[in-house]
Amino acid sequence: AQSVTQPDIHITVSEGASLELRCNYSYGATPYLFWYVQSPGQGLQLLLKYFSGDTLVQGIKGFEAEFKRSQSSFNLRKPSVHWSDAAEYFCAVAAGAGTALIFGKGTTLSVSS
Amino acid sequence: DTGVSQNPRHKITKRGQNVTFRCDPISEHNRLYWYRQTLGQGPEFLTYFQNEAQLEKSRLLSDRFSAERPKGSFSTLEIQRTEQGDSAMYLCASSREGVGAGEKLFFGSGTQLSVL
């Protein structure tokens, strides 16, 4: 069965600095990969997704992620973090058509001024 | 598009009682998913429906948990004989087709269950 590991429980970044959140997945074939964000009191919002094609995908709010098959990774990046980016970030994987999303345990992002 | 609606927003119950949560998906969304989220954890997949058919229920946490989607529209999640360990946020999500078909999941705001 597929699984997701987010190695960093909590990360603090200065406002304006770059950000990279790590995600490693376990699945035999090419999975469908997602990043979601959850702000306090808010529902989960999709940032971006990768199904196939270009391994660098662009998402909303200036986020991007790169799929690296050799490393089984799908790390999320942003060149310049804003205070409003403080939230919980979840990486998720689906094995393919007809399957459900499996989420990682999340990384909490704090932004310092 | 009114979004995924979940009721109630909060539920406080005593251990041993039964509780039922309702989810109204976005209209015309065929797929409906239930997840559970505890503090500091990611959403944990429980079950999902394609219209009224429950396609996956092996991840329901115990036989005290059951879900229905009788007419392929709204869904209910029932927990019988609640335990303190059932305290969590219960999330519902819907999509037109499965995520493997390139579909985006739309999540509701959840029902927060507290078992005393």
Which range among A45-49, B1-5, B54-58 has the greatest average pLDDT?
Answer: A45-49
Average pLDDT over chain B, rounded to whole?
Answer: 91
Q: How far is CA B83 from its chain centroid?
A: 17
Are residues A101 and B104, on separate chains, in Cβ contact within 8 Å? Answer: no
Q: Length of chain B in residues, anyone?
A: 116
pLDDT for the residue B56: 81
Q: What is the rounded CA–CA span in Å between residue B99 and residue B73?
A: 19
Q: What is the rounded CA–CA span in Å between residue B80 and residue B48?
A: 19
Residues of A in contact with B42 (CB under 8 A): 4, 6, 90, 92, 103-106
Q: What is the pLDDT of residues B9-48, one digit of tens each?
A: 999 999 999 999 999 999 989 999 999 999 888 999 999 9
- What token pair was written down for B106? 């739309």
Q: What is the rounded CA–CA span in Å between residue B31 and residue B49?
A: 5
Q: What is the pLDDT of residues A43-100, one digit of tens each?
A: 899 999 998 888 999 999 999 999 999 999 999 999 999 999 999 999 999 876 567 7
pLDDT for the residue A7: 96
pLDDT for the residue B32: 94
A85 to each of A72, A103, A104, B24, how far by Cα in Å?
A: 25, 20, 19, 29
Residue B101: strand, helix, or coil: helix
* Shortest CA gap B11–chain A (Å): 16
Phi, psi for residue B86 in degrees, rounded to 5: -80, -10
Average pLDDT over chain A, rounded to whole?
Answer: 91
* Shortest CA gap B60–chain A (Å): 13
Q: What is the DSSP code (8-state) at residue B40?
A: T
Residues of B in contact with A103 (CB under 8 A): 35, 42-45
